[in-house]
Amino acid sequence: MLEAQTGTRWKVEERDAEETRREGLRMLGRGEGAGAGMLILGDLYGEGVGTVGEERLRVDNMILGIKRREVGDVVREVLNR
């Protein structure tokens, strides 16, 4: 989607959510603050509590009053600012 909108090839790296979470914990243990972001991503996209899923997003969006939009429309809007 982003490649089509920007005309640029994007490098994509697939990562295991649990490994991302563990790496975040290791980084925090070394005093690296960027580990917090990795920990959050691992928690969001891993299994269990905090997991981002279609039903969870539907409920959260309803509570916040956010309407569903197509990804391409949002990307186009942001890039054209």
The dihedral region occupied by 3, where left means phi > 0, alpha psi between -120 and 50, and beta the remainder, is alpha
Q: How confident is the model at residue 55 (pLDDT cuts 50, 70, 90)?
A: low
**Which pLDDT score, from 0 to 100, does residue 26 have?**
96
Domain span at residue 53 reads: 2-79
User: What's the pLDDT at 57?
Assistant: 62
- Answer yes or no: is pLDDT of 3 > 90: no
Tally of structural domains, the chain: 1
The most confident of 18-22, 51-55, 60-64, 70-74, by mean pLDDT? 18-22
Cα–Cα distances (Å) from 45 to 36, 40, 66, 80, in that order, read 14, 9, 21, 29
